[in-house]
Structure 1
Amino acid sequence: MHDLTGFQRDILYVIAGLEEPHGLAVKAELDDYYEQEINHGRLYPNLDDLVGKGLLEKGELDKRTNVYTVTQRGVREIEARREWESQYLEDVNVSTQS
């Protein structure tokens, strides 16, 4: 996962968490997270890159809609990233202040 952009990691995480991850659902989640509209010209090439890297599989939901699933390799990459992050964040005490 070290060769992914932050945006590509976010896409991978969103797809891992959605029940039916199709392009527009992924876009909607990213629009909300980034608090701005993600254009199709940015999203779909990155989805294709993740498919090309073997982290996602692309299938058809219907004739107009592609659905994406995280591959076993993608799951391993997510797990490895979480382990890597946790070694640095394990002792971090994040508190909320009102």
Structure 2
Amino acid sequence: MDDLTGFQRDLLYVISGFDRPSGQSVGSELEEYYEAEINYGRLYPNLDELVEREFVEKGELDRRTNYYAITEAGREAIRARREWEEQYVDV
């Protein structure tokens, strides 16, 4: 996960918090967090990168809508990141 962008990490965190969200749902969550519009040209290529890296699985909800689900590799990447962060952040 150390070579993911911050945006890609945020995508991974959001996807892990839902049960098979659509790309639109993930984008909406990040828009709320960032307080800015997330355009499709930024969202979907980054989701595709996470799929290619096997951190996220992509499937069809219906003919027009895909879902995204965290994989075990994605969960492990998040766990490793959290352990690393805990060395430096005391909250």
TM (normalized to structure 2)?
Answer: 0.96
What is the count of residue pairs matched by the alignment?
91
Which 4+ stretches in 1 moved above 3 angstroms?
none
Structure 1: any 5+ residue segments left out of the alignment?
93-98
Structure 2: any 5+ residue segments left out of the alignment?
none
Q: Which residue of 1 aligns with 2:87?
A: 87
Distance of 2:12 and 2:39 partners within structure 1: 17
Matched, 1:30 2:30: yes
Matched, 1:74 2:74: yes
Larger radius of gyration: 1
Please report the RMSD computed on the Cα atoms of aligned residues, expressed in angstroms: 0.9
Shift of 1:21: 1.1
Asked which structure has the greater RCO (Cα within 8 Å, sep 6+), the reply is 2
Give the secondary-structure state (helix, strand or coil) at the position aligned to 2:61: strand
Q: Which residue of 1 aligns with 2:55?
A: 55
